[in-house]
A and B are shown apart, each in its own frame.
Chain A
Amino acid sequence: MSSASVGRGAEPATFVPQPDGGYSRPVLVEGHHRIKDITTLVAGVIEKPTPRWWLPALSVSAFVMSILVTMIVYLISTGVGVWGVNQPVSWGFAIVNFVFWIGIGHAGTLISAILFIFRQKWRTSINRAAEAMTLFAVICAGIFPGVHVGRFWAVWFMAPLPNANAIWPNFRSALLWDVFAVSTYFTVSVIFWYVGLIPDLATMRDRSTGWARKLYGFFALGWRGSGKLWKNYEAAYVLLACLSTPLVLSVHTVVSFDFATSVIPGWHTTIFPPYFVAGAIFGGFAMVCTLLVPTRSLFPELKDLITVNHLENMAKIMLATGMMVGYAYAMEAFIAWYGANSYERYTFYNRSFGPYWWAYWIMWACNVISPQFFWFKRFRRNPWFIWWITIFINIGMWFERFVIVLTLHRDFLPSSWGEYWPTWVDGLSLFGSFGLFFFLYLLFIKYVPVIAIAEVKSIMPEADPHHHGHGHGHGYESHADPGHDSSEPRREGHA
């Protein structure tokens, strides 16, 4: 995939006609900013007086988060019975929420790592926020399986600790793989995000005073922006991207194994790994858009960096992954019929027409039907329209997991069929997890550069060596020395 092919869709506004009649690379930053402006722009989000909405928003999300904490305290002190789970549906909202959040946590790393490796330069404006979102989503995700167990205080049995009884965790269990997969993913994502942040933290350090300067300075790890540092930084970044890439695919694959390695009709299926990964990317991009559209509205100065082109690109990805997901839904149903296994067939009949038919059709409508609008450019380039669609996709993806988990309610023996209905504790826990998510996100946009300053500079026309007559260069080869064009870090570097 070349940059041109990505850019083609964005033609009128983003392509610069060339004297030879061809097109150059798309313009990724609008508004004719100079490189220096980028720093001012992004750091300005932090430096300018706190917007009036921020504190109330933070308070509300903190309150909602405290609901989650209360629910967890209630849960652990009283028993898992406070939820609606039962026999036969032993997993309820907790696992639905877990898979939902962990799915959302895919977009960030995908944008940072896979798009980085594939040289998708448009990623630079959104990767920071997307990665942060990943971390917050994984935190939200991690809470649910942690507390959903019957004996929270014994969760450490899952850790492979040498012990006198020589009892090890059961390495055959997908749930254990899950623990390893998610914790690895979280660790690598944190490191990747943090490594990417270092130059920008240094920028912030240089621009701030007092305790903020000390704090940024502490986290900037003494970054001075020297050429050698940049070289090492780039190498580390590439390596981490390569490390993250398989993780993006593996985490949700492993999550899908929780279901796929079981014997339950509707779960026991080989389509789950790719289908889950596609779904995760789909849902993850939807959540990125859900966050970025309001973010760029609240900080209008960022509109030049997070452009409609970015949103359009994401809309295209959502269209593609949405159709993959739709294909998976259809294929699942087809195989259930074609496979002639009566249990499997009934599972799909029951999904469509059983007690939870509405969840199944919400899933179809939100995940397969709603992205179809993105065939039309008009819709793709309308930020608030995209935002609305992404809300539907978020709902749809949550219901996808609901449908999967609720498959449990009717398995082999009709005698043990049952139903699952959430309690208020289930509902408030889900609600509270959004509080946690937004609480962290609000803190993030206020205190951390939402856009990767250094990286954005590298894709500005000014950073393109072509301007300086060095021939065709691809942004990232020349990335090694963006500092030359960037004002502050370089100054520091030369100091």
Chain B
Amino acid sequence: MSLESAGGPSSGLVLAESGVESVTQSNPPTPAPAIAVATADLKRPPGSGKAFWRSLEEWADTPEFREYVAKTAPEAAEQLVRSEAAGVDRRRFLQLMAASLSLAGLAGCRRPSIKILPYAKKPETVTPGMPTFYATSMPLKGSAIGLLAESHDGRPTKIEGNPEDPFNKGKADLYAQASVLSLYDPDRSRYPVRRAEGRLSQTTATWAQFDEFAAKVAERARSKGGQGLAILSGTVNSPVFDLIRDHLSQTLPKAVWYRHEPIDNANIVAGWSKALASPALPRFHYDRAKVVVALDCDFLGVEAEGPRDLNAFAQARRGVSLGGTMNRLYVVENHFTLTGGMADHRLRLPASQVPDYLAVLARRLLERLSDGEADAGVRAFLANFTPTPEFDADWAEKVADDLLDEAHKGRSIVVAGRRQPAAVHALVALLNAKLGNLAPETGPVSVVAPPMDAPDLTDLVAAIDRNEIETLVILDSNPVYSAPADLEFAKKIGQIATVIHIGEELDETGKKALWHLPMAHYLESWGVSRTPEGVLLPIQPLIEPLFNARVGTELVAKLVGLEPSHAHELARAGFAKALGLSVDSKEFESAWREFLHLGVKTGIAPPKPAPAATVDPSNVADALKGWSRGPELSRLNLELAFQRDASMDDGRWANNGWLQEVSDPVTKVCWDNCAYVSPATARELGIRTPTSTRQEAELVTLSVGDRSLTVPMIAVPGHADSSITLTLGYGRTEVGRVGQDTGFNAFLLRTTEALDIIAGGVRVERLGRSYPLALTQDHHPIEDPGIAKRIGTLVQIEDYRTAQAKEKAHHDTAHGQEDGHDQIEGGHGADQATSGDHGHGQAGIGTLNFDAGLPFRYGNSPEHPKFFDDIQTQNPDLWSGEQQWGMAIDLNSCVGCNACVVACQAENNIPIVGKDEVIRGREMHWIRNDRYFTGTDADDPGMVFQPLPCQHCENAPCEAVCPVNATVHSDEGLNLQAYNRCIGTRYCANNCPYKVRRFNWFNYNERQLGYTNLRWPKPYGPLTPRAMEETLKMQKNPDVTVRIRGVMEKCSFCIQRIERAKIGVRGAAGQTPGADLRVPDGGIVTACQQTCPTEAIVFGDIKDPNSKVSKLKSLSRDYLLVGDINTRPRVSYQTKLTNPNPNWSNAGRPGGSSPSRSGEGGPVDAAPAGSVTGLESGATVRTADAAEVIQR
């Protein structure tokens, strides 16, 4: 089907061109005809239907009518718009849909248009009730994640990763998962807004008025050759932008394109570019590295670029389970991050002292790797360098030795975080080059050209000061909120005559602009995105822009006078340009179709070739000039480090309820940000940390120079002393109802001179007031006997070599030997060389150790066949199902990124509950991500994550106690919850040992937005208005019930996906006699599993011994959570492994973070005495003051 342009966006109809069949089915996807999405004209507020109207157009209130009114009677237009509150009711929605359809013909008088009619004949690819998947992509900062968007009858409901994406491999992160909610956000801006001449307040306008204005802007720009025109955007990387920028440089050469990315890679690019003497951005391939040294770099958390790094790291980490080896991770950082949680050795160090450690490491490395004269400058610098803190011999020498190990040659990564200065990155580049890691095709480190080269905000402000800017077009950026405070951008923007802001919401910047234009969400847009490697990914719309928005590229094209300016044509033209084809050619057409169909195009040369991967040490030596040793920090001279928020990013997700409610993976704070310090520093400062969800955090004022900010402050175990971490992205002022009153704006303390790390001089003043923080997990003291005793049994950690030996023994016994236990013990005992033996084996398979939990297993292995048989004999009815579902979660792969939590929320229609309800302990997540600190030293613990869905127990405690049989067992082993039957006694939730059941305390789905935060502390009552926002209804998955208040709910193992797969298999088998009706392994993928970047979650048939889940369950690392109470869960975990450096001086105690010594409880007791001591060895670095305090 050819795509005639749908004309102007106001009447345009968006057509998604090709569909990809459900990924769970093996049918080869075929290019599909268009799915027409009817105009969703959501303009009429509920209950405000006009009682009097003069014409059908007025009654139906079409955009055309609006334009007509605006032309003839502008005041009336304003009134029209003002009367529109949020939302529209269902009945009116349908009426308007019908009316717009019938009136579409009128629009046709002006523009060519495509009429949309209901199917007279069903299109081949559309099965009512079956979702369709479209390949698209979500642009990141200069990169993109390839996605498959699930669409139900024209409504995108869920995001999955596109398996064709060569980097992300079908995985999606939590932002991509949550982005579908932002699409339907009713607080998005709905019409162009302009500030009339000489007026302070903004009024609404029409697109026609804007078009008129845009033509003027374009005309003026053309007449001046672009003089005075500036465009400000985030880091964009797309052939479409190439088109626009080419157009600019050709027709408007004096126009300038600025870039503002509040949290970006500028330091990394600067350092590497310096070292390589050419613009360069490093790419790290963690799957190829055996040793990783991460310096202040949370590449598994807030510095991850989508799921790709997590996926790659997990591949190299997975270890014995899949017959591989296991990498070793050293982390030096100030705040406990997800990367720190995975570390085998972790050194907590203030961020401003991390370079000191790098210097020490580099000195040691370069002593051994020196090539004589070339790096003499660097070595001379390092030789004279005295680090501020002292590093113990292990960290100073053993890390370097490990990197230099012959086995790790060219197979290691040294990586520094984006906060570290450019000089650090230059040195890191040198080290990687010296270690042989920098090998473009096969090595763990490669370089590409940075995706976007443009002057930044500082330059823009300088230009404004020089009065050079007449017209500023801001595309999808919010500098008024996120610019460094010293630029005073809010003030500067007022000096520009014409500011045009294009964005999804009327944010801080939009409010200051002359024009604000609603921008379409990426799921409503046409476009092409590109990764830094040059891989192209399409952006396909799945729905007509809901809120009268237009695509960003289209608007910019219009403002700079680029023709054609329609987004679809722009996308095609951009893609054609990247391919070097003509848009009219036949080859292009088929390439385009294939592109949309697959969702990816590889093998195209990036616009700028990658720089040569050679580091010039003299450049590095040059970069090191001006490097000074880290500051001496103390209670009175604190450091402040800014961090990207794990949910809000730089503030762009502030109105996304799912992201607000998913808590920070480490600190478990949601709906807010706060300042984090170490427990020791908190004690020094006298800050009390809430130990329960009901206690409030203390408010402090952080002062830097003459800037100050009031934030709550809490202690986080494992944080570096004398250092404060503050996350960016909260405290938005012009934001929708969800993001209102959440958090504190850390950008107010951020200045250009110390953008990310303020190295000292930060003062903390206690205010004596407290602030309620929503914590989804209590901050219990680690020494609490209840914690210390059991963590080790809940999240089990083994040494890699121990596990390897066990696995081997396990494997040996699996072939024929009856009595495997002794063998295992023997194999275990033979592993004397491993001093870090933590004795899980000794806990004794078959011995009943209540603290251990380990003997309780589930699987097909010969080691524990009895348990498996037991269940079948005891409950033959329950095992009558053809297939038996189970899940295995590998704690060694899970890094705790929370993508599963948000994916589950999107798939299963899980409501958000709001901050006050989280404080009450009523969050609804069906899968939660438990975070445990391990060890007994609160200052320097380890960290383990444990994703916890419903365990689907065979002996389910919940089933026995429900008085009305609302929760029952299926013959396929599922623990089902019948919402219709549930009366809400909540007995099941009480009796659930895992506390995975969630209760609808209120009608959460019907609460209006804004009722979720604390602005109205207790907004519930019989008279509280109730209604789900109309657009939010569109997000709901039609395959899953939206629960009413008063019923219990919980993880269903995505039963809708199970049933769909079963129906598919049965449908395919038809009447064939004797057909195998079992769903093949991998045919059912739960939502959490599908998105999990590290593939830690595996679901499948445990009756089939060859399924992946069965194989995982028969590993010796497999264990059941709280197995000793005989619940016999269908979910089992594989222990986390650590791979500590065997040469570490205190071999049993590789460092504070080595989490294997998990306190006193459990099997750890059985470990050799030597291995349970010396927790402190990893915590050698303390600042002078802190050390003093501790001695006292």
Contacts and interface: CB of A to CB of B under 8 A. Distances in A.
Nearest to B1021: A78
B254 interface: no
A1 interface: no
Contacts of B999: 80, 87, 90, 150
Interface residues of B, number: 68
A174 interface: yes
Contacts of B1045: 79-81, 150-151
Given A412-B1122, A419-B694, A84 B920 contact: yes
Interface stretch (B149-157, B215-223, B409-417, B985-993): B985-993
A411 B962 contact: no
Contacts of B983: 149-151, 154-155, 157-158
B922 A81 contact: yes
Contacts of A145: 985
A264 interface: yes
A102 B637 CA distance: 62
Contacts of B1161: 342
A438 B13 CA distance: 70
A295 interface: no
B986 A91 contact: yes
Given A87-B922, A150-B999, A342 B964 contact: no
A417 interface: yes
B500 interface: no
A170 interface: yes
Nearest to B1047: A150
A415 B961 CA distance: 23
Contacts of B1003: 79
Given A158-B963, A261-B960, A414 B694 contact: no
A444 interface: no
A413 B931 CA distance: 11
B1001 interface: yes
Given A82-B1020, A90-B999, A342-B851, A418 B921 contact: yes
Contacts of B778: 414, 417-419
Interface string A295-339: 000000000000000000000000000000000000000000000
Given A87-B995, A170-B965, A175-B961, A264 B990 contact: yes
Interface in B890-932: 917, 920-923, 928, 930-932
Contact of B964 (A169, A341, A412, A415): A169
B946 interface: yes
Contact of A74 (B777, B794, B964, B1022): B1022
A393 B509 CA distance: 65
Interface in A399-440: 408, 410-419, 421
B425 interface: no
Contacts of B1021: 74, 77-78
A262 B990 contact: yes
Contacts of B990: 88, 90-91, 262, 264, 408
A247 to B, nearest CB: 20
Interface stretch (B326-334, B487-495, B785-793): B785-793
Interface in A346-368: 346, 349-350, 355
A164 interface: no
A399 to B, nearest CB: 19
A88 B921 contact: yes
B998 interface: yes
Interface string B952-990: 000001001111110000000000000001111111011
B787 A414 contact: yes
Contact of A150 (B789, B921, B995, B1000): B1000
Given A170-B962, A263-B993, A415 B920 contact: no
A22 to B, nearest CB: 57
A173 interface: yes
Which residue among B928, B963, B997 has the maximum number of chain A CB atoms within 10 Å of its CB? Answer: B963
Among B923, B983, B1045, which residue has the most Cβ atoms of chain A within 10 A?
A: B983
A85 B786 contact: no
A69 interface: no
A78 B1022 contact: yes
Contacts of B850: 340-343
Interface in A251-292: 258, 261-264
Given A84-B920, A90-B986, A415-B928, A350 B692 contact: no
Contacts of B374: none
Contact of A81 (B692, B981, B1001): B1001
B612 to A, nearest CB: 50
B1127 A263 contact: yes
Nearest to A350: B786
Most buried by A among B789, B930, B986, B1048: B986
Nearest to B693: A418
A415 B963 contact: no
B1125 interface: yes
Contacts of A355: 692
Among A149, A411, A412, residue most surrounded by chain B Cβ atoms (within 10 Å) = A412
Contact of B960 (A79, A86, A173, A342): A173
B1002 interface: yes
Contacts of A175: 961, 963, 985, 987
A176 B948 contact: no
A87 B921 contact: yes
A340 B1124 CA distance: 13
A170 B964 contact: yes
Given A173-B987, A412-B1125, 18 more contacts: A77-B1021, A81-B917, A81-B920, A81-B1045, A85-B986, A86-B920, A86-B921, A86-B1001, A91-B990, A151-B982, A158-B963, A262-B957, A264-B993, A340-B850, A413-B948, A415-B777, A415-B930, A419-B921
Nearest first, the 5 A-B pairs at minimum CB distance are A150-B984, A150-B1046, A81-B1001, A415-B930, A86-B921
26 contacts: A78-B1020, A79-B1000, A80-B1045, A81-B1002, A82-B1020, A84-B920, A87-B922, A90-B989, A151-B983, A157-B964, A157-B981, A158-B983, A167-B965, A176-B963, A262-B957, A262-B990, A262-B991, A263-B991, A263-B1125, A343-B850, A346-B789, A412-B1122, A414-B791, A416-B928, A416-B930, A421-B694
